[in-house]
Structure 1
Amino acid sequence: MHASQGRSAGLGLALASAFAFGGSGVAAKPLIEAGLDPLHVVWLRVAGAALVMLPVAWRHRDLLRRRPALLAGFGLLAVAGVQAFYFASLSRIPVGVALLIEYLAPALVLGWVRFVQRRPVTRAAALGVVLAVGGLACVVQVWSGLTFDLLGLLLALGAACCQVGYFVLSDQGGDESDPVDPLGVIAYGLLFGTLVLTVVARPWGMEWSVLGGAADMDGTAAPAWLLLGWIVLIATVLAYVTGVVSVRRLSPQVAGVVACLEAVIATVLAWVLLGEHLAAPQIIGGVVVLVGAFIAQSSTPKAASAQPVAGAGAATLAAGPPDDRETAGSVDRAEA
């Protein structure tokens, strides 16, 4: 495939992933309001997706022998870590602050690429990160509940670091000498993530009866099982698959900036489907995020031909991570 075509396809997949991840909040919030604990919704999401991907895991069972560290790392960081740290931070700091810190991940990815991998990054990518983070601050209206809690900030930073792990680990496995199917990585990542989240969420205490009833979506009754199906199939399985493939066609830093669109999409969908109206600063911030993402995706890594992405043929595997994030009062991918 021609390089420009591959990049265009990667961008399209990244946007699809952002839309899928961003749509998790509008489905999760009605379930939470109907009586489910947020962590239980996260567990249902990851466990359901792991069940759907179980045949894929069986098909790629050789990965357990070939790349156990990659699979365990992806499950711990990209699936369970982002969500666990994010929800823990919400108990101590406002949602907007936690979300903004988590989305510092694109800037941290740039730092990883530049100072750890010692690969140059373009000014356009750096500018895109700055614009995206600044616009995101407006989208989540970080000033509306700004408080300082050291532990809460550290937990949110932990979520951001786990999201960096999502992009970095996604970059592994593209080496032509030892290729790893991204679907296998996702399948086992979800399985490992389910095991970790089972300990954290303790689903045996869940209000299972909620899933047999209906949940309210801005005055419209929606079957709880249908909302859960959307979260599992679209906001998790489809989101991870399109995200993984997109990052392998782009780069960690570009995919990280495009992932910032998830918060914008989540806020817009909450406006349309849940009646959570947008303020002028949020609309302006969304535009700034779009501009930042456009600038970053149009950049080309320096010396790309001489310094290919470590461990990847074309780029990397993109959340948050996956994660369930809550924005404008609704839960979105912690997220892991």
Structure 2
Amino acid sequence: MPVHTSQGPQGHRARGVGLGLAFASAVAFGGSGIAAKPLIEAGLDPLHVVWLRVTGAALVMLPLAVRHRALLRRRPALLAGFGLLAVAGVQACYFAAISRIPVGVALLVEYLGPALVLGWVRFVQRRRVARGAAVGVVLAVGGLACVVEVWSGLGFDAVGLLLALAAACCQAGYFVLSDQGADAGEEAPHPLGVIAYGLLVGALVLTVVARPWTMDWSLLAGSARMDGTPVPAWLLLAWVVLIATVVAYVTGVLSVRRLSPQVAGVVACLEAVIATVLAWVLLGEHLSAPQLLGGAVVLMGALVAQSSTSAKASQGLVVGGADEAVADGDGAAGAADAGRGERELSGRGPGA
């Protein structure tokens, strides 16, 4: 399969649209905790909020699930794993974490997920990791130490931090699962179909775990306080379902289609910054100077790791393209090398 590159005015325009979509996805994802935390503080259990979010989004995406129903037969394990880890696991652990620790801290801890993916690649798959990626991991861990203020004996709730780390592990599983089948060409599972069925599987799992029939539904008819300001609960829930879930996933997928997954992943790192700023402005969650510095270091580490991965993928593209160009002399070998070049580009970012 040939690798297409974006050149000329149309290519630049498509790249600009892709960057805009990636930024919109980061804003949408970053606002999830800001809208969910007031609902939790109003009396809703974190698991109930997660169930409402996932189930509502699953109903919205149901037409896409019907359209891609062949995935049930072709990729049942992928859909089950995606629903358990990328949907139910990430959301449940993250929302439970923000009920105990600040939104910005929970999201920054969750962003250890990419570092865990590198550990999976290096120690489980026994593949080499770029030096820049390893430097990025060290920066991220060092920044995290500043965020949680290890010198003060972990001033944050220990259970909240463990829940955020669990969300990071589930996020790592998201990245690993998103890469499955990416080298299958036209047989690769459609990302929108995977998202739709992942939401459905997540909703089914969370129904058993959260037991929504025990929820106090009357709370949704009332209001929740956002830094002292009353806001209708249904409006916050609508934001969580439509914007922070459906729009976030769809714009993320569309951005990856116009950019490479690596570039879209770099833009997605803005999610932590956006969430921290929104939590500061809307929820009054003020962080200290060392914590802000640590957050910046965490993001810097993520950017270094992502940039290193992107550069390595670009090198893979050059090698793959060269081998494909000389494939006239040895078609089988050229096709195999070109496939490896494309495989380097197949890593899925958060919006994939």
Check the 8 A contact 2:102/2:285 in 1, yes or no. Answer: no
Aligned length: 318
Q: What's the counterpart of residue 220 of structure 1?
A: 229
Query: How far, CA to CA, are the matches of 1:40 and 1:187 in structure 2?
Result: 20
Query: How far, CA to CA, are the matches of 1:151 and 1:284 in structure 2?
Result: 24
SS at match of 2:44: coil
SS at match of 2:185: coil
In the alignment, structure 2 segments of 5+ residues that lack a partner are: 321-339
Q: What's the counterpart of residue 350 of structure 2?
A: 318
Q: What's the counterpart of residue 132 of structure 1?
A: 140
SS at match of 2:28: helix
Q: What's the counterpart of residue 305 of structure 2?
A: 296
Query: How far, CA to CA, are the matches of 2:345 and 2:293 in structure 1?
Result: 37
Matches within 5 A, 1:32-51: 32-51=40-59
Q: CA deviation at 1:109?
A: 0.8
Q: What's the counterpart of residue 55 of structure 1?
A: 63
SS at match of 1:74: helix
Is the deviation greater in 242-251 or in 128-137?
A: 242-251
Q: What's the counterpart of residue 172 of structure 1?
A: 180
Q: CA deviation at 1:205?
A: 0.9
Distance 1:291 1:103, change over 3 A: closer
Distance 1:284 1:158, change over 3 A: closer
Distance 1:98 1:169, change over 3 A: same
1:2 is matched by which residue type in structure 2? T
Q: What's the counterpart of residue 191 of structure 1?
A: 200
Q: What's the counterpart of residue 326 of structure 2?
A: none
Query: How far, CA to CA, are the matches of 2:213 and 2:164 in structure 1?
Result: 27
Q: CA deviation at 1:85?
A: 4.6
The higher relative CO (CA closer than 8 Å, separation ≥ 6) is in: 1
Distance 1:95 1:25, change over 3 A: closer
Q: Among the aligned pairs, what percent are the same residue?
A: 74
Check the 8 A contact 2:46/2:96 in 1, yes or no. Answer: no
SS at match of 1:301: helix
SS at match of 2:347: coil
2:39 is matched by which residue type in structure 1? L
In proportion to residue count, which structure has more helix?
2
Query: How far, CA to CA, are the matches of 1:17 and 1:134 in structure 2?
Result: 27
Q: CA deviation at 1:286?
A: 3.2
Distance 1:89 1:298, change over 3 A: closer
Query: How far, CA to CA, are the matches of 2:227 and 2:267 in structure 1?
Result: 29
Matches within 5 A, 1:74-113: 74-85=82-93, 102-113=110-121
Query: How far, CA to CA, are the matches of 1:271 and 1:208 in structure 2?
Result: 29
User: Larger Rg: 1 or 2?
Assistant: 2
Q: CA deviation at 1:203?
A: 0.6
Query: How far, CA to CA, are the matches of 1:11 and 1:122 in structure 2?
Result: 25
Check the 8 A contact 2:136/2:302 in 1, yes or no. Answer: yes
SS at match of 1:2: coil
Q: Which TM-score applies when normalising by structure 1?
A: 0.78
Check the 8 A contact 1:171/1:317 in 2, yes or no. Answer: no
Q: CA deviation at 1:101?
A: 5.5
Q: Which TM-score applies when normalising by structure 2?
A: 0.75
1:267 to 262, 271, 276: 276
Query: How far, CA to CA, are the matches of 1:92 and 1:278 in structure 2?
Result: 15
Query: How far, CA to CA, are the matches of 1:97 and 1:275 in structure 2?
Result: 14
